[in-house]
Structure 1
Amino acid sequence: MATENQLHVILSTPAVRVPAHLVESTQRYVESGLRGAANTVRAYAGDCKRFSAWCVLHQLESLPASVEALVGFLTELADSGKKYATIERHAAAIAKAHELAGVESPTADKKIKVLLKGIAREIKTRQKQAPAFSLGSFKHTIKSINISVPAGLRNRALLLLGFTGAFRRSELEALNVEDLAFDNDGLVVSLQQSKTNQLGQAEEKAIFYSPDSALCPIRSLQAWLRLLGRTEGPVFVSLRKNNKLTSRRMTTKYTNLIVQQYLGSQYTAHSLRASFVTVSKLNGADDSKIMNQTKHKTSAMIRRYTRLDNVRQHNSAKELGL
């Protein structure tokens, strides 16, 4: 997330004292160390730019920023109807910018913490979560996809893999053909990096065959790969209007559009992951099995991802034996 100017501040401040011959290497390590998930990096950059512009408008310093400046900025965000999660992210981005510059962040002040707590109470802290779909509706949707055209083949493979692998959309975007290992037992997908795996440690997801070939994520993916016709590079690529393949990696934004195209506008790409957790829970899977696929670290996150909108679902009152 560090800009060239921010890195210059880090490397030139007296407290750092990086020898001249090490500056280039240090810059590379600093960039790597500060680099978060791609979506977070982009969001933080936009948030900092927005804060800087606000400060210029009000003739205030943005770096280092005063507590009063941040109070005014966050208050304006809240008054303009921004979600609490968005406001909280802006504060985190500003804190990161100050950390990069080696100066004290106004976010550490108690006034800011009280302000954020008050904003949370006013506009509700609960985020609007991506809904989960039912397994029945998902099966019906998959079987209705026209796979006689490349777009249909790709989209069926994307939806089935995204659901059965509980993938984040950023993971689907980053997936390469060389990350896929097929054998008689199924498919193992190696994740080179993910939101919770920034250091590139080995992380794998297992995908299994379905007895119904029309719903099988592995056979669907293999059909798409045969059309793709290569052994390396991005798995999911964009298509031209005439359904001709390109070499361009498909973006997360387009993944979202595909989910909405087939499942409905109320859903997002994140619904694939939320639905995996919900359907697994309804089918009796314990948290440890679900976490093995989602790569969540705690059962608390599994509970957060479980979408049970009917009180009769997953209810032990059915098992009392009366």
Structure 2
Amino acid sequence: MECRLPVDKLEALKGEIRRLVGVRKVQLRTLQSVLGKLNFACRIIPMGRVFSRRLAASTGGVVSPKHFVSLSKAHREDLSDLAHVFGAIQWKGVVDVGAVGQIPGIGSCSGGTRDPLPRGTVEACVGRVSGWIRRSVSGGTWSAYERTWNEWEALCEQVQADVRDHRLLVLYFVARNLEDGISVASLGRKLAGLAFWFKLRSVPDLTKDFWVRQAVKGYRKGRQIKDDRRPVSFELLVKICEKLRVVCSSGYEVVLFRAAFVLAFFGVFRIGELVSPSKRGRGGLFVEEVACLTDRVTMKVRRSKTDQDGKGKEVVVFAIPGCHLCPVRVLWEFLGCLPALLGSLLLHERGEFLSRFQFITVFRKCLLALGLGGEKFSSHSFRIGAATEAVRWGLDEESVKRISRWESRRFRSYVRPELVCV
């Protein structure tokens, strides 16, 4: 007494779902065909019904099979979730919810046999595990992985190959991307996504194949591009802050951007750790996590590029007596003008968040006012400048790694005294 959905039918259905994810309108007859197949599949995978109901409701009122049905963003998200649900419970070529023993570790034990777990229990567990897996990486990483999976599965459909038995397909995937001139970093992200895809399906990770690794190594050697972003030195920081009076529209904006630039330099912040992603999206440093004393400022970075688990790290910036850009003095001045006592630290006078785009735009306007081209500078120039200045001031490697929150010697590539322009 068991229900089975053969892997070939499941893969065909997933292919149709993926095609719908990429369109905004679909003919009624096509949508009804997919819904019919989903209805059959959901008899074996019942949790899929949660994501197909809104899609079925969208056909209401459409009469002619030739007429088109609009797919909203919510519909496409439901379709994407359906593909994840079907992929999450594909075990060794057969989806088998009724025969629970096919899932490793469930329904059997070494000392004999036992009754299988109730089907509802298994479904609920699989759904929760799928969600936990998704939350194990950042949202941006998951989105990048999804794009890679769509590209990979489209390629599999194109050549009609079984990837578990065909390592040449991985080489073909890599070759196509290399011939398109993809950057080394982008290729690395795609291979990471593909490796994740293989592991989810409990098949050998073909991205670690010797031919793949050596091809990528050779490609990297042939495309080495030197990072020539210029550092913001302390002298340049002083001049940039002086130009804020020319660039900014109000005295408050001068105080706001001076605090942002000074913190970016002395706190050695990545831009995403310091400011919000947009003027309407809360992010960056929070007021309640900043302690401003007479001789130091203590700030907590809740999450960063190298801390996806959100353990958080403390950043301490000390006062510089006699310096008019002393970070403690600058921050005290800004806190005296701050319109809110909770939430994001860097706010405009009307309560809007200081965004990444605004930070970079004002920074480049200051550079142009100084007669410097902004194309060689970026928000990361403050972090590069801090590392460069720390070495110029005689700090040892361990001290530079500690204040910059680097866990390796990666900071060495950021020490660029030859590129200091002021």
TM-score, normalised with respect to structure 1: 0.78
Q: Judging changes above 3 Å, is the alpha-carbon distance between structure 1 residues 106 and 12 closer, same or farther for their aligned structure 2 residues?
A: closer
CA shift at 1:96, angstroms? 1.8
In the alignment, what sits opposite 1:85? 185
Paired positions, count = 298
In the alignment, what sits opposite 1:104? 204
Q: Judging changes above 3 Å, is the alpha-carbon distance between structure 1 residues 167 and 115 closer, same or farther for their aligned structure 2 residues?
A: same
SS in 2 for 1:139: helix
| Cα-to-partner distance string for 1:20-40 (whole Å, 9 max, x where unaligned) | 4534543443233x214x554
The one-letter code of the counterpart of 2:295 is: D
SS in 1 for 2:376: coil
In the alignment, what sits opposite 1:245? 351
Q: Judging changes above 3 Å, is the alpha-carbon distance between structure 1 residues 186 and 135 closer, same or farther for their aligned structure 2 residues?
A: same
CA shift at 1:42, angstroms? 4.5
Larger of the two Rg values belongs to structure? 2
Mapped partners of 1:62, 1:134: distance in 2: 55
In the alignment, what sits opposite 2:405? 295
In the alignment, what sits opposite 1:314? none
The one-letter code of the counterpart of 2:414 is: Y
**Does residue 26 in structure 1 map to residue 129 in structure 2?**
yes
In the alignment, what sits opposite 1:160? 262
1:9 to 71, 87, 95: 87
Mapped partners of 2:355, 2:147: distance in 1: 18
For residues 1-322 of structure 1, the aligned pairs below 5 Å read 4=81, 5-6=83-84, 8-11=86-89, 13=91, 14-15=103-104, 17=106, 19-23=122-126, 25-32=128-135, 34-36=136-138, 39-52=140-153, 58-59=158-159, 66-124=166-224, 126=225, 128=227, 130-146=229-245, 148-172=250-274, 173=276, 174-211=284-321, 214-237=324-347, 244-246=350-352, 249-263=353-367, 264-298=374-408, 300-309=409-418
| Cα-to-partner distance string for 1:136-159 (whole Å, 9 max, x where unaligned) | 122111122126344433222211
Aligned-residue sequence identity (percent) comes to: 21
CA shift at 1:252, angstroms? 4.0
| Cα-to-partner distance string for 1:116-174 (whole Å, 9 max, x where unaligned) | 122123223x5535331332122111122126344433222211111111111221143
TM-score, normalised with respect to structure 2: 0.61
Q: What RMSD, in angstroms, separates the aligned Cα atoms of the two structures?
A: 3.2
Mapped partners of 1:261, 1:8: distance in 2: 50
Q: Judging changes above 3 Å, is the alpha-carbon distance between structure 1 residues 45 and 218 closer, same or farther for their aligned structure 2 residues?
A: farther
Mapped partners of 1:22, 1:77: distance in 2: 37
Please identify, of 286-295 and 47-56, the stretch whose mean Cα deviation from structure 2 is larger: 47-56
SS in 2 for 1:144: helix
Mapped partners of 1:198, 1:170: distance in 2: 13
Conserved? CA contact 1:191–1:202, under 8 Å:
yes
Mapped partners of 1:277, 1:270: distance in 2: 11
Q: Judging changes above 3 Å, is the alpha-carbon distance between structure 1 residues 189 and 12 closer, same or farther for their aligned structure 2 residues?
A: same
The one-letter code of the counterpart of 1:140 is: K
Mapped partners of 2:147, 2:87: distance in 1: 20
CA shift at 1:282, angstroms? 0.5
CA shift at 1:46, angstroms? 4.1
SS in 1 for 2:231: coil
Conserved? CA contact 1:52–1:62, under 8 Å:
no
Conserved? CA contact 2:198–2:205, under 8 Å:
yes
SS in 1 for 2:328: helix
Mapped partners of 1:43, 1:217: distance in 2: 37
| Cα-to-partner distance string for 1:203-223 (whole Å, 9 max, x where unaligned) | 211112334564233333344
Mapped partners of 1:54, 1:149: distance in 2: 57
Moved over 6 A (4+): 61-65
SS in 2 for 1:200: coil
Mapped partners of 1:63, 1:145: distance in 2: 57
Mapped partners of 2:319, 2:273: distance in 1: 21
Any gaps of 5 or more consecutive residues in structure 2?
A: 1-79, 92-102, 107-120, 277-283, 368-373
